[in-house]
Amino acid sequence: MNILVIGSGGREHALCYALKKSPQCKELYCAPGNTGIAKIAERVKIKPTDFDEIVEFCRQKHINMVVVGPEAPLVAGIADFLEERGIMVFGPSKAAAQLEASKAFTKEICKRAGVPTAKAETFKDAEKAKKYVREQGAPIVIKADGLAAGKGVVVAMSLDEALAAIDEMLVDKKFGDAGAEILVEEFMEGRELSFFIATNGEKVYRFGTACDYKRVGDANTGPNTGGMGTYSPGDMIDNDLREQIMDQIINPTLDTLREEGIIYKGFLFAGLMITSEGPKLIEYNVRMGDPETQSIIPRLENDIIDVMLGHAEPKFSDKTAVTIVYAAKGYPEEYEKNTIIKGVENVKNALVFHAGTARKEKNLVNLGGRVLGVTAVAETLEQARKIAYDEAAKINWPEGFYRKDIGVIYG
Ligand code: AMP
Ligand code: GLY
């Protein structure tokens, strides 16, 4: 098969790594890809949202399957557009992508499917929202309805924080249209787990679990980020919990979508809170996670193409993977670009997945905030953690940093 991957991050690097290993993969392309991906796939200069150009490229290169990494092209309808033109896509339709694009849509589906999730009310009017928040009290969670690049969620520990967040979204329009409607949600207490599914629309396979470190600072301090590190599998997962999640959350959601005429296919990412009352849904994403993918893929032992086609269930090793994200100092706020990164070639006992890198006059430099993911796989979490940190230390990047506690379990 000739395959085109859409995207340019560490997640796409990991997906390319798995696809490249498949004996079924003939030519592998990635649009637009990155410096690391260039070593295993041919980069294509097309933006993920240029659908016409993607179709043109697929026809020229006889692409048999397009694998979509990020949510933006999915939400914009890339799967529908390509499939209407006879090109197979591993990724959900625009209708199905509402699971990520609209929190209100997801709440409605969850309500009908009986999926356990936080109690929520939607508001467009700031005064009504504030009245409700005063009644409910803190802690409470305020969310922009639409896509806000992961920044549209405020977990307010005090009433003042909650009221300020309502003003920011509904009065100051901080997130524009994405925040024209907000959700006020019950605060759920527990531990978070990222839970993944891969489905061709008929077969529904579990595709691994991971724990993500979302805050920028050690001991989970500082602002939220896209994810500063992960380990896989999640330490709290066992057969009982796995079955509970499938029976109470994933299957009812997919069945309810099907009743609406929406066949979900592609990866599905359930962000869960494991509470004392059992697993509850925080949110769905219609794609793999980043950096979760960088921890999950290295544990995959069989052919990812068989999984995508619905020919075989994924098999994961019993080992544990730890991924440390190397980010530019200042991230998630302002950071310097084009700073030189040395020593990546010294990493021998771990995988390095690129995200925001570029080549400039023979040097590897950073373009983005989250730049490299260093993944080690070992028998235990402790061992994987040690190897990952030993290997990350071989990279010489004075303008970069990473959290020192990826793999430490906070109860
Ligand atoms: P989201 O963008 O929906 O993943 O939310 C970002 C983060 O906010 C999540 O990873 C959780 O840590 C936290 N969060 C979101 N919703 C809730 C909730 N209802 N209760 C507690 N924490 C939440
Ligand atoms: N790591 C969380 C995400 O990919 O959204």
pLDDT at 149: 61
Query: What's the CATH code, domain 320-401?
Result: 3.90.600.10
pLDDT at 411: 76
pLDDT at 150: 59
> Considering every ligand atom, which ligand is closest to the CA of 151?
1
Ligand 1 site: residues with CB under 6 angstroms?
Answer: 118, 141, 150, 153, 155, 185-188, 192, 214, 271, 282-283
pLDDT at 151: 67
Positions of the chain with pLDDT under 50: none
The CATH number for 191-309, chosen from 3.40.50.2300, 1.10.287.130, 3.30.470.20, 3.30.390.30, is 3.30.470.20
Ligand 2 site: residues with CB under 6 angstroms?
Answer: 212, 226-227, 285, 289-290, 292
pLDDT at 299: 98
pLDDT at 177: 76
How remote is the CA of residue 194 from the centroid of ligand 1, in Å? 12
Spatial contact of 384 and 321, defined as CB atoms under 8 Å apart: yes
Fold of 123-180: Dna Ligase; domain 1 (3.30.1490)
Shared fold status for 2-91 and 123-180: no
Q: SS3 sequence, 19-59?
A: HHHCCCCCCEEEEECCCCHHHCCEECCCCCCCHHHHHHHHH
**Distance between CA atoms of 91 and 188, rounded to whole angstroms?**
30
Domain ranges of the chain: 2-91, 123-180, 191-309, 320-401
Spatial contact of 402 and 228, defined as CB atoms under 8 Å apart: yes
Closest ligand 2 atom to the C-alpha of 289?
Answer: 4
> Considering every ligand atom, which ligand is closest to the CA of 148?
1
**What is the pTM (predicted TM-score) of this model?**
0.95
How remote is the CA of residue 141 from the centroid of ligand 1, in Å? 8
Give per-residue pLDDT as tens, 280-322: 999 999 999 999 999 999 999 999 999 999 999 999 999 999 9
Ligand 1 pocket test, pick from 119, 140, 153, 183 with the greatest ligand atom count within 8 Å of Cβ, gives 153
Percentages (nearest 5) of helix, strand, coil residues in the chain: 30, 30, 40
**Distance between CA atoms of 68 and 377, rounded to whole angstroms?**
26
Whose C-alpha lies nearest to ligand 2, atom 4?
Answer: 289
343: phi then psi, degrees, rounded to nearest 5: 85, 5
How remote is the CA of residue 13 from the centroid of ligand 2, in Å? 15
Least Cα distance to 14 among 208, 206, 147 occurs for: 208
Least Cα distance to 325 among 369, 270, 358 occurs for: 369
Query: What's the CATH code, domain 2-91?
Result: 3.40.50.20
Q: SS3 sequence, 364-411?
A: EEECCCEEEEEEEEECCHHHHHHHHHHHHCCCECCCEECCCCCCCCCC
pLDDT at 82: 98
Q: Are strands 363-366 and 340-341 parallel, antiparallel or unpaired?
A: antiparallel
**Distance between CA atoms of 161 and 180, rounded to whole angstroms?**
19
